[in-house]
Structure 1
Amino acid sequence: NIAASNFIVFSFILGSSGLYYVLREFVGLTPTMVFLGCGLVTVPIAVIVFRLIPKETVRCLFWLMFRVLYKVRVFGSEHIPATGGGLLVCNHVSWLDGILLILNSERPVRMIAWAEYVSTGVSGWLARLYGTIPIRPEDGPRAIVTALNTAKAAIKNGELVCIFAEGGITRTGQLQPFQRGLLRIIDGTDAPVIPTYLDELWGSIFSHRDGKIFWKRPRMWPYPVTIVFGEHLKNPDNVNEVRQAVETLGVKASIMRRNHELIPARMFLRKCRAARSRLKIADSSGQELTGGKTLIGTLAIKRVLERLWLKSDEKNVGILLPPSNGGLLANMAVTISGRVSVNLNYTLSDKDIRYCIAESGIRHVITSRRFLEKKPVEFDPATQIIFLEDVKEKMTGADKALSAIAAHAVPLCILERWLGLTRIKPTDLMTIIFSSGSTGQPKGVMLSHHNISSNISSGDQLFQIKRTDVILGVLPFFHSFGHTLMMWLPMNVDCAAVYHFNPLDARTVGELALKYKATIIAATPTFLKSYLKRCDKEQFAHLDLAIVGAEKLPQTLADEFNAKFGVIPTEGYGCTELSPLAAANVPDHRSQGITQVGTKLGTVGRAVPNVCAKIVDADSFVELGNNKPGLLLIGGPNVMQGYLNNPAKTAEVIRDGYWYNTGDIAEIDDDGFIKITGRLSRFSKIAGEMVPHIRIEEELARIVEVPGSDEVEIKLAVTSVPDEKKGERLIVLHKPLPKSVDEVLKELGQCHLPNLWIPSADSFLEVASIPLLGTGKLDLKGIKDQALNAFGPAAPGVSS
């Protein structure tokens, strides 16, 4: 075959050379005229080819154009059946989704599309050419049924059909609920459902990111697109099963493309250069740095650290600094040096801090004298301390000059190689964050570069970060949310960040928000309540996104915050092991004729892009499906690598490579919204019944709340101790109450709670303060210890 092909090709070349010689020497044509004549001759040939094979010709033209505009990677094409009918069910992200699928499928695909867009003009001609099945919802149920029956007939005839089961393009970036029509199509056909996922298209010019389509600059060129075809589903019971399969493909898509992505450190270099003369970071000390100065400072600190302190074999570096410019620059310097940052929790005891240092094998800790004056720490003598003040003092003119040249003049490709960033793999360890230790000793959570970059991508897609945004960071960098979404996210996208070290200092937070026109803030409900009481409306005038986590958001607080500042707090969900973001509510989308729900109060929202959630039985791990309470598992590229030096504990919580056992009890509704109903460790088994502590806490907090009070501290907590008769006994730790225990119990009895959920009067213990962690969350271990000391087997009963 090869020999025959070469013979034919070279024969034509020889013949063409002879023709060219004759036309030039005997006819007298110039080379320009010869080539023009050849071109004109091909016109009728092209017309004939187009008339004979129009579909293939148009497909070839589109393929050539899209090869220039898009860089498409396809995975799982072997799942497309070679023969016979099938139904592709795909997420819908942009206006070009259908064309991309047609061009990248090995077999012809008939699309189901809204008739209004495929009935007239060129689009109508193309739709008829490729057998597109128009659907007209505005014509009523009969028209819809007709379209679905047409699709079913096509599948029975051995054709491939594709439906975008969400019923429209996503306006929020999240996977929308699936419509039931897909089940009608496959009913009685015995054809497979092929889950399909289009990844990376959110943010392209044909998506609805930023609330507009087309009129925005391409983020990159050629634009990357990943298409994943999944394993067949046979006779799915419901649309949620299909949606789960498509959502899971989003996880696989992110994992499959990770080797093609830039790690956060490389993105940091690019975004600093892009903001060379624009504000990039500021803090409450008054220091402001542009992107250029941020990069220069990072490179200069790296030079000094490596010259004077950090050895080449030193992998993990401790950082003990609050949210500030200095804290950020120290983190950036450690990371671009190829080392692992370990932000130490300064709210822990000295003993626990020393434990974290020893567990991580840390030799040096970067901090500042000014910080240690406010928060003294007794380090182990073997630990060497690097003070930022000393780094600044040891920084020479050469350090600054060379760093400035590298930041502004050296090409990025050379700078990255010089820094060694091109040798770092996405799966390499980037940071160790110690969990808060709410139930015991802190655990070191190991997060890779891809863990962090995937979570940054999810947050950027979900919250639609703009160049004009200013993030107000008040969460500490030892907190996973503060580390990933308050520090690394603004360093990897086009926005600015402003930091303050004390989230409860509402006065300063308000002043910073006003001065820098902050548009995004992340906080706990406790912090929000403080801002609600002590910040003026004008200070949050530019705020349009308030992200809330760590605690359940009370509905009354959300309503009051919205009434004063005009912003509905967005409740999200995550944990250190998930890098941390896993789910979030987003503002609803409403436009002419289209409404997409992004928020359901009382839930933590839908899974973020490229992350999936499912509910399983807590004992058997059998999947339960929607609208049934059970154990929440989260799967995604954001799932940690594991616990530091603890493979046994890692194996307990990570299943099948990327499913993390959250330990939370939740349920998922048909729209994909997750409602947390409790934590497995925050349930008591009393007389064989599961009793949720959080539900009781919510009712008690409402009963003891004083109207108009400025108090923002947590006033009570529910825990349990062993009980010989019923298995466990509920205990309520509380600060001084405005009502007697009897009055509280009387009102609690009117809340329609089961009798088993009502603590006895002698189970209330008054304490000076409720044990809390540095993140503001309940210290469950400390609460449990106090209860056991007072009510345990060796302690006498205590009553208020």
Structure 2
Amino acid sequence: MAEQFGSATTLALLIYFTHLMDVTNMMIPARAMLRLLQRDSNTVKFADSTGQELDARTMLLRALAIRRLLGRLLHGNETNVGILMPTTVYGALANIATALDGRTSVNLNYTFGSDTLNYCIETAGIKHVITSRKFIERFPGIELNADLLILEDVAKKITTGDKLLAWIESKLPVSLLERLLGLTTLSPNDLLTIIFTSGSTGKPKGAMLTHANVAANVEDFRNRLQVGREDRLLGILPLFHSFGYTTLLWLPLLSECSMFYHVNPLEPKKVGEICLKYGCTTMPTTPTFQKGYLRRPKEEFEKMHTIICGAEKLPADLVAAWEEKFGHRLVEGYGTTELSPVVSTCAPPNRFPGAGLLYKPGSIGKPLDHVRVKIVDLESGAEQPPDTPGMLLVKGPSVMKGYYGAPERTHEVFKDGWYVTGDVARLDADGFLFITGRQSRISKIGGEMVPHILIEEVIDKILARQHKPEQENGGPQIAVSALPDEKKGEKIIVLYKQLAISPEEICKAMLHEAIPNLWIPSAHNFRQVAEIPVLGSGKLDLAAVKRLTTEMEI
């Protein structure tokens, strides 16, 4: 009897520790990736519009060869490695090789100027930046305070021995290979990447995302959308964007779907062509980019059944126009760089019949499985009842470790263990989230809170009645800001490029919308500008909008 008990105990412990090892493997993306890429596969795993087409095993082989080269070119204590690459197969390989070498990737935002890029480089202590000559030549004004590893040049330093050893490594059992690469010494709480925020409200901050952060977000996102072998992702977002980094790099590396890249999201013709060529089904994107694709032939996007829009509000008229033309509904998700990034998303009702539990018009969806949210009063901090707007707080395994080298700034965004998003939202009785504004985009007029984003939505709705979305040339047409006002505290300012009707007609139409009169700007506070400032992600550059508004008033 004792022997049987002992045997049962040993078996139980063996099962427990085996499960524990499996869980740890999944929490280190590079280790989980090795298991997937080593599986036999003759199908294309990654491809791009430059003509690169690689299956899973070839991706692994090339990543291992590049990793061996990085081991010689980088200093042993050089933890953070800059990457200035477009959304291509080799952009992905640079990130994979860096992860396999146990280093932290820092994908640099190439829409920044030299000053901001060098600020990021200095902040993260970057000594080397991996880039491509063809790519860097597109930005002749950029000068970086770091040594450049030009892929076209360093590739010549990959020796026959490197290739042979990489081939041998690719054939080793995964348990042996990950030990050989040093991946078993990594902790889930070690840094996988540093992603600098867009800087829309000031200097970029380096969000430290751990292996566990990214692994948890990928797993939850994949489960919400049921991404599998039959899915073909279209990648147009940059890898310096957290939504791009998580869903266009690690999602295909940790699932059985395929990945197809195009470097420039502002080229609708080429995006449509690659979508048609590979029969793409799924795409993380932004509403601004989708407006450009709306003009493409139906056959290019008719297989694209899952399109998740983020970074900005998804206009209802765009949703209707897209569904009418392509037969699939755009849905909206929400996240921030600091949250790895996805917090919530709707699931397309056309993909999940009867998916009322996962979709509601105008909502950013329900929180992902392991994400906790709560809404608190902006002033008292008390938790709000359903359907009452307040500050959105988030907890869960995807919440960043903090801002790199900035403990004070980290402390500012955490309250009792919750990450304070800065976004104003409401949570309805069914558990769906709705963004109603941003704390930095709320004016206090006559003692009342006035959300800029809702004013923009109303004006966009009025303008949409005058012309169809496909007639737009992409990008936001208006931006709401504010200036000090002696009588009421602040006054609403509307910046615009072109208007189909006059400011007076817009203000008159706003009287018939379900908004307080206090939210309606004066017609003489509309200001025409040459361009509405936007970031590389397509969302408003709030710092530039504020600066432009102030300059126009002087």
- Residues 651-690 of structure 1: matches in 2 within 5 Å? 651-657=411-417, 659-690=418-449
Equivalent residue for 1:42?
none
Contact 2:83 2:129 in 1 (8 A): yes
Q: Secondary structure of the equivalent of 2:454?
A: helix
Tell me the distance in 2 between the aligned counterparts of 1:713 and 1:361: 35
What is the match of residue 535 of structure 2?
773
In the TM superposition, residue 751 of structure 1 has moved relative to its aligned partner by 2.2
The 1:303–1:510 alpha-carbon spacing in structure 2 relative to 1, beyond 3 Å, is same
Write the distance in 2 (CA, Å) between the matches of 1:71 and 1:375: 55
The Cα shift of 1:377 comes to 4.5
Structure 2 distance, partners of 1:772, 1:344, is: 18
Alignment of 1:273 onto 2:55: no
SS at match of 1:374: coil
Deviation at 1:772, TM superposition (A): 0.5
Which amino acid is the alignment partner of residue 569 of structure 1?
Answer: L
Indicate which of 453, 458, 474 corresponds to 1:694.
Answer: 453
Which secondary structure state, in structure 2, belongs to the residue aligned with residue 601 of structure 1?
Answer: coil
What SS class does the counterpart of residue 333 from structure 2 fall into? strand
* Structure of greater relative contact order (alpha carbons < 8 Å, 6+ residues apart): 2
Following superposition, the deviation at residue 547 of structure 1 comes to 0.8
Partner of 1:300: 65
- The alpha carbon displacement at 1:266 in A equals 0.7
Out of 402, 411, 425, the position equivalent to 2:165 is 402
Quickly say closer, same or farther: Cα 1:589–1:753, change in 2 above 3 A: closer
Residues 739 and 315 (structure 1), Cα distance of their counterparts in 2 relative to 1, 3 Å cut: same
Letter in 2 for 1:370: K
* Conserved? CA contact 1:613–1:634, under 8 Å: yes
The CA deviation at 1:590 is 11
Residue 393 of structure 1 is matched in structure 2 by 156
Whether contact under 8 Å (1:263, 1:450) holds in the other structure is yes
Distance in 2 between the 1:571 and 1:257 partners? 33
Matched, 1:761 2:520: no
1:567 has 2:328 as partner: yes
- Checking the alignment, whether the CA contact within 8 Å between 1:281 and 1:290 is kept in structure 2 is yes
Hey, what does 2:201 align to over in structure 1?
A: 439
Percent sequence identity is 46
Match of 1:537 among 284, 298, 309: 298
Deviation by residue 1:92-122 (Cα, 9 ceiling, x = unmatched): xxxxxxxxxxxxxxxxxxxxxxxxxxxxxxx
Counterpart AA for 1:269: L
> SS of 2:137's equivalent?
helix
Residue deviations 1:535-582, cap 9 Å, x none?
222112322211111111111211221222221112111010000010
Specify which of 263, 278, 286 is matched with residue 28 of structure 2: 263
SS in 2 for 1:274: coil
**In 1, Cα distance between equivalents of 2:308 and 2:173:** 37
Paired letter, 1:646: A
Structure 1's 591 and 467: CA in aligned 2 closer, same or farther, altered over 3 A? closer
d(CA) in 1 for partners of 2:351, 2:68: 51
Q: Which runs of 5+ in 2 are unaligned?
A: none
2:127 equivalent in structure 1: 363
> For the aligned residues, what is the CA RMSD?
2.5
| Alignment match, 2:102 | 338
| 1:313 paired residue among 55, 71, 77 | 77
- Distance in 1, matches of 2:35 and 2:131, equals 27
Q: Map of 1:352-501 to 2, 5 A cutoff?
A: 352-380=116-144, 382-407=145-170, 409-501=171-263
User: Are positions 1:746 and 2:505 aligned together?
Assistant: no
Query: Is 1:604 aligned to 2:364, yes or no?
Result: yes
Match of 2:394 among 618, 627, 634: 634
**Cα gap change, 1:684 to 1:710, in 2 (>3 Å):** closer
Shift of 1:262: 4.0
Amino acid of the residue matched to residue 155 of structure 2? Answer: K
For residues 30-73 of structure 1, what are the alpha-carbon distances to aligned partners after superposition, in whole Å with 9 as ceiling and x for unaligned? xxxxxxxxxxxxxxxxxxxxxxxxxxxxxx9xxx8xx89x9579
Pair 1:595–1:510, CA change in 2 (3 A)? closer
Distance 2:463 2:140 in 1: 37
Give the 5 Å matches for 1:33-48: none
Amino acid of the structure 1 residue aligned with 2:311: A
The code of the aligned residue for 2:343 comes to A
The secondary structure found in structure 2 opposite 1:498 is strand
Rounded Cα–Cα distance in structure 1 between residues aligned with 2:163 and 2:112:
36
> Which AA in structure 2 matches 1:406?
E
- Indicate the residue corresponding to 1:717 in structure 2: 479
**Cα 1:479–1:275 shift into 2, 3 Å:** farther
- Partners of 1:588 and 1:597 within 8 A in 2: no
Q: Deviations over 1:183-214 (max 9, x none)?
A: xxxxxxxxxxxxxxxxxxxxxxxxxxxxxxxx
Per mean C-alpha deviation after superposition, the further-off stretch among 458-467 and 732-741 is 732-741
Once the two structures are superposed, residues 590-619 of structure 1 have per-residue CA deviations (whole angstroms, 9 ceiling, x without a partner) of: 999x87521001110100111111111122
Map of 1:72-471 to 2, 5 A cutoff?
259=24, 261-307=26-72, 309-380=73-144, 382-407=145-170, 409-471=171-233
Distance, in Å, in 1 between the alignment partners of 2:291 and 2:458 is: 18
Write the letter of the residue equivalent to 2:215: S
Q: Secondary structure at the match of 1:638?
A: coil
Distance 2:435 2:395 in 1: 17
Structure 2: how far apart are the matches of 1:589 and 1:324? 30
Contact 1:590/1:596 (8 A) holds in 2: no
Higher Cα radius of gyration = 1
Query: Could you tell me which residue of structure 2 aligns to residue 110 of structure 1?
Result: none
**Matched letter for residue 451 of structure 2:** P
Which residue in 2 is equivalent to 1:556? Answer: 317
- What is the TM-score when the length of structure 2 is the normalising length? 0.94
Give SS of 2:294's match.
helix
The answer as to whether partners of 2:213 and 2:397 remain within 8 angstroms in 1 is: yes
